[in-house]
């Protein structure tokens, strides 16, 4: 058979709204084995509860293989829904189990956002959320944030001036990338705005279990009914199960189930049951979370010590209270240009521009301390300092 010309296939509008970015292409290069990358968003595999997962899986497949491997309910495994509901003071019918919390986010967007609708979010913001919002054809309203999270007074001003978002997206606990926690006052103010203007608050919460300093304020969902809370097992157990959830107002939860049915029928029966069995195992979760926190706190300390030693005075950052990242500034440096130099020196980070809702050069960067060894974290800091000595990095 002769080789045919590849078919020219017309794309719909949706995929044309999102694309691979220059930064993502550059970060793909950083996956070379000689690069100590602090760019990733991977949790520490040393903290995965492998034995608990292996034991749970073996028990499930021995005790009820048909149940663990068959099709199951679109809304999710009922005991897992009940477990999540119990952690959120919610009704099990409000819980929809999803294939990771990214899917939960995307389903909420499909339920609530038409092309052209406005979604407000902190700028900088989580790249995965921004991609899902762009895919939906949303118009993004970036709101600056500071050490207390999204500046709700600035959002209020935009609302007063006529902005009418369908959705306001926040990572209220240990934001990605900035690491900030939305203050109590701002939570009250945001909840009041939701009730007044009728938008839904999408509170994405992957990191709250990884807090080792400070006290979390009351959850947004206790302040208004107009909240969808997203959760995941990715940082508490491991990402490879892809088990997350949305806790939503009842009628919205029912819509998410209808959407989920059309989109992929259900989340994997096996991984849901594994997750539930591990999470609900008596005596497991609380000590496991304490170990996780200690692990990440020590990793963070190793990176911070190395950064202070190598870049003290030039690199500015607040000490993280939890999570996986240091969010920092290099005043006067275009960190997108620094990245290429850093990769040349054998390290990598995510430049702030990757998180920018409103594009433009920035002097910010995100450094992950989650996966590299303390020695590699120190070496990465040394390489980063070397990269900073390259010429032509200014704005």
Q: Which residue stretch of 1-9, 209-217, 289-297, 382-390 sits at the interface with a copy of itself (rule: CB under 8 A)? A: 1-9
Helices (H) and strands (E) in the chain, counts: 14, 14
Smaller CB distance to a copy of itself: residue 317 or 355?
355
Q: Which residue stretch of 52-60, 171-179, 333-341, 386-394 sits at the interface with a copy of itself (rule: CB under 8 A)? A: 52-60
Residue position matching structure tokens 């209020």 = 156
CB of 258 to a copy of itself, least distance (A): 6
Q: Which of residues 352-381 bind a copy of itself (CB under 8 A)?
A: none
Reading phi first (left if > 0) and then psi (alpha if -120 to 50, else beta), residue 49 is in: beta
Site for a copy of itself contains 319 (CB under 8 A): no
Q: Which of residues 86-105 bind a copy of itself (CB under 8 A)?
A: 98-100, 102-103
Strands 200-204 and 350-351, how do they pair? unpaired
Q: Indicate the SS3 state at residue 252.
A: helix
Q: Indicate the SS3 state at residue 268.
A: coil
CB of 313 to a copy of itself, least distance (A): 35
Q: How far apart are CA 390 and CA 227, in angstroms?
A: 47
Q: Which of residues 181-220 bind a copy of itself (CB under 8 A)?
A: 195, 198, 200
CB of 261 to a copy of itself, least distance (A): 7
Exposure on the CB side of residue 38, measured as CA atoms within 13 A:
35
Q: Which of 66, 282, 283, 360 binds a copy of itself (CB under 8 A)?
A: 66
Q: How far apart are CA 256 and CA 303, in angstroms?
A: 40
Q: Which residue stretch of 142-150, 185-193, 248-256, 353-361 sits at the interface with a copy of itself (rule: CB under 8 A)? A: 248-256
Site string for a copy of itself, 117-146 (x = CB under 8 A): x----------x--xx-xx-----------
CB of 166 to a copy of itself, least distance (A): 7
Site for a copy of itself contains 230 (CB under 8 A): no
Site for a copy of itself contains 15 (CB under 8 A): yes
329, with CB counted inside 10 A (0-12, 13-18, 19+), is middle
Site for a copy of itself contains 2 (CB under 8 A): no
Site string for a copy of itself, 32-51 (x = CB under 8 A): ---------xxx-x--x-x-
Site for a copy of itself contains 326 (CB under 8 A): no
Smaller CB distance to a copy of itself: residue 8 or 392?
8
Smaller CB distance to a copy of itself: residue 67 or 361?
67
H helices of 147-268, where?
Answer: 152-160, 184-197, 250-264
For residue 45, the 8-state DSSP code is G
| Count of residues that interact with a copy of itself, criterion CB under 8 A | 82
User: CA of 355: how far to CAs of 207, 303, 361, 368, in Å?
Assistant: 18, 22, 11, 14
Q: How far apart are CA 342 and CA 55, in angstroms?
A: 42
CB of 136 to a copy of itself, least distance (A): 8
Q: How far apart are CA 167 and CA 258, in angstroms?
A: 20
Q: Which of 30, 37, 72, 170 binds a copy of itself (CB under 8 A)?
A: 72
Site for a copy of itself contains 275 (CB under 8 A): no
Q: How far apart are CA 108 and CA 204, in angstroms?
A: 11
């Amino acid at each position: 058979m002769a080789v045919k010309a590849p078919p020219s296939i017309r794309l719909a509008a949706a995929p044309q709204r999102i694309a691979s970015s220059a930064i993502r292409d550059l970060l793909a290069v950083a996956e070379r084995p000689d690069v100590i990358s602090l760019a990733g968003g991977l949790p520490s595999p040393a903290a995965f509860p492998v034995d608990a997962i292996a034991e749970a899986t073996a028990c499930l497949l021995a005790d009820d293989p048909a149940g663990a491997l068959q099709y199951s309910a679109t809304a999710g495994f009922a005991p897992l829904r009940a477990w999540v509901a119990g952690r959120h003071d919610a009704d099990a019918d409000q819980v929809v189990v999803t294939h990771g919390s990214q899917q939960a986010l995307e389903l909420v967007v499909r339920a609530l956002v038409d092309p052209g609708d406005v979604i407000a979010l902190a700028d900088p913001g989580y790249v995965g959320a921004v991609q899902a919002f762009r895919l939906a054809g949303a118009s993004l309203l970036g709101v600056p944030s500071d050490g207390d999270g999204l500046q709700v007074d600035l959002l209020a001003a935009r609302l007063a001036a006529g902005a009418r978002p369908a959705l306001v997206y926040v990572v209220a606990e240990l934001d990605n990338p900035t690491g900030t926690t939305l203050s109590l006052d701002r939570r009250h103010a945001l909840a009041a705005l939701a009730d007044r203007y009728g938008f839904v608050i999408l509170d994405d919460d992957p990191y709250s279990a990884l807090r080792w300093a400070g006290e979390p304020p009351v959850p947004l969902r206790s302040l208004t009914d107009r909240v969808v809370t997203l959760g995941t097992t990715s940082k508490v157990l491991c990402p490879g199960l892809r088990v997350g959830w949305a806790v939503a107002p009842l009628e919205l939860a029912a819509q998410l189930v209808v959407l989920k049915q059309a989109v992929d029928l259900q989340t994997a029966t096996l991984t849901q049951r594994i997750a539930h069995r591990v999470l609900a195992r008596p005596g497991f979760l609380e000590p496991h979370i304490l170990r996780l926190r200690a692990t990440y706190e020590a990793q963070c300390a190793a990176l911070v010590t190395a950064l202070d030693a190598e870049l003290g005075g030039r690199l500015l950052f607040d000490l993280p209270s939890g999570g996986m990242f240091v969010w920092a500034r290099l005043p006067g440096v275009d960190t997108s240009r620094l990245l290429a130099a850093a990769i040349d020196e054998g390290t990598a980070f995510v430049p702030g521009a990757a998180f920018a809702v409103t594009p433009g050069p920035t002097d910010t960067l995100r450094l992950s301390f989650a996966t590299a060894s303390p020695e590699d974290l120190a070496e990465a800091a040394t390489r980063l300092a070397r990269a900073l000595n390259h010429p032509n990095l200014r704005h």
